[in-house]
Amino acid sequence: MGENSPKDRETIQGHLSAIEALASWLEREAGTQRIPQIVSLLVADAGVALRANRPPPAVEVESLAQRYFDTHGGSLRGEPAGKWLRRGRMEGWWRARERQIAMVCERAGSAWVPHLVIRSGGGRGNSTEYAIAFRPLDTESEPEPVECPTPKGRVLTTIHYDVNPAQAAWWVGWLSAVPQFHVRSWRGWALLGLVGMAFAWVALATVIVGLSMWHDRPISGRDFVAMAVVGSIAWVLWRVLRSICVLPWQRVTLAPDSLLRYDQLHAQFRLTRNTQSRALGGWFSLVRHWGTCPLCSAEVDLCPGADAFPGRVVGRCADSPLEHVYSFDPVTLSGCLLITESASVSPGRPPEDQP
């Protein structure tokens, strides 16, 4: 066989750049479940093939299952490989993360984006095959709309979110000095130490105030002032650090203004799970999720759901923050309009089911 032409070598290098970006993203953010680990095996095969100037191979589902168990332990226990790894679930997982994968490749400077190819066996004894292929990265076309069906079968207006790095305040500038850092790096330990010192200070101050009152005399106004000061500082520290404390459960939280640079109006803390360990770990980043309102073209930023959507992070339009309100899905980076025109609701309230 003859050598590859310069154009072919350039294409292979572009594919390799995209596959390396995808592999890095999978390691940091994809999670520890079965499907992302299977995808990691396919990506590893594609990387090996591209470095040898070969196209990524198609792998039968039986081979994928065996390699998965060789790596992570376990067995099929008599279950067919095609049932253990269902095609529909693989397609659904990839489709939900296509936008994230495209953004990762774009940030890496690649002109290509990987996509999952599934070849059905088409009959008894024929195995389903999985492979990684590539297509040009189109940065100008709009993402495909995401359907958000309501119980009545209506399809609501949808929004797509972008993710950009955000800037921290000068006194915690190390939070945004790198795009993201591991929780068990020095930055991660510094962050945990900051939270720990804050709670330790509150505990120590509470003990000191309590001991100062632990004698046989009436409680004075000075004691009330001391208790009020300690309580106020504890409340402020909780308001500032709560978004960090709940990250392991919520994954994306709103960063307080006191931790952001003066010109950074909106930002979020994001924690992605570590695929290598269930112990303390993961990747921390300070980012801004934002989108363009499909109704009025104003910017949409993440805000608290408030009384209308308690416990939720929602996207609110800058020009119509009470009416143009969208849900936020950190996996698909998309959302749906939460207040429809057909629903007769007060501003900021979720729509009720109509008869």
Q: What is the DSSP string of 140-166?
A: SSPPPPPP-B-TT--B--EEEEEEEE-
Is residue 215 one of the residues assigned to a domain?
Answer: yes
In the predicted model, is pLDDT for residue 314 greater than 60?
yes
In the predicted model, is pLDDT for residue 71 greater than 60?
yes
Q: List, in sequence order, the alpha helices (H) in the chain.
A: 6-29, 34-51, 61-72, 81-84, 87-107, 186-212, 221-245, 247-250
Is residue 298 one of the residues assigned to a domain?
Answer: no
Is residue 211 one of the residues assigned to a domain?
Answer: yes
In the predicted model, is pLDDT for residue 261 greater than 60?
yes
Q: In this structure, are 174 and 287 located in the same domain? A: yes
Q: In this structure, are 101 and 66 located in the same domain? A: yes
Determine the pLDDT at residue 317: 94
Q: In this structure, are 175 and 280 located in the same domain? A: yes
Is residue 338 one of the residues assigned to a domain?
Answer: no
Q: In this structure, are 14 and 132 located in the same domain? A: yes
In the predicted model, is pLDDT for residue 32 greater than 80?
no
Determine the pLDDT at residue 3: 60
Look up the domain containing 253 and give its range: 163-292
Q: In this structure, are 192 and 103 located in the same domain? A: no
Q: How many domains does the chain have?
A: 2
Is residue 225 one of the residues assigned to a domain?
Answer: yes
Cβ contacts of residue 226 below 8 Å, gap of 6+?
A: 209, 212
In the predicted model, is pLDDT for residue 351 greater than 70?
no
Q: In this structure, are 179 and 68 located in the same domain? A: no
Is residue 303 one of the residues assigned to a domain?
Answer: no
Choose the final residue of a domain: 267, 292, 317. 292
In the predicted model, is pLDDT for residue 145 greater than 60?
no
Determine the pLDDT at residue 220: 76
Q: Which of 171 and 273 is assigned the larger pLDDT? A: 171
Determine if the pTM surpasses 0.85: no
In the predicted model, is pLDDT for residue 6 greater than 90?
no
Span 252-257, mean pLDDT?
A: 95
Is residue 346 one of the residues assigned to a domain?
Answer: no
Is residue 210 one of the residues assigned to a domain?
Answer: yes
Q: In this structure, are 132 and 168 located in the same domain? A: no
Q: Token pair of 151, please?
A: 């119980």
Q: In this structure, are 187 and 281 located in the same domain? A: yes
Q: How confident is the model at residue 316 (pLDDT cuts 50, 70, 90)?
A: very high
Question: Considering the chain, what percentage of its residues have pLDDT values greater than 70?
Answer: 84
In the predicted model, is pLDDT for residue 302 greater than 90?
yes
Q: In this structure, are 225 and 128 located in the same domain? A: no
In the predicted model, is pLDDT for residue 153 greater than 60?
no
Cβ contacts of residue 320 below 8 Å, gap of 6+?
A: 293, 295, 296, 298
Q: In this structure, are 209 and 111 located in the same domain? A: no
Span 43-51, mean pLDDT?
A: 94
Q: Token pair of 244, please?
A: 């960090």
Determine the pLDDT at residue 256: 94
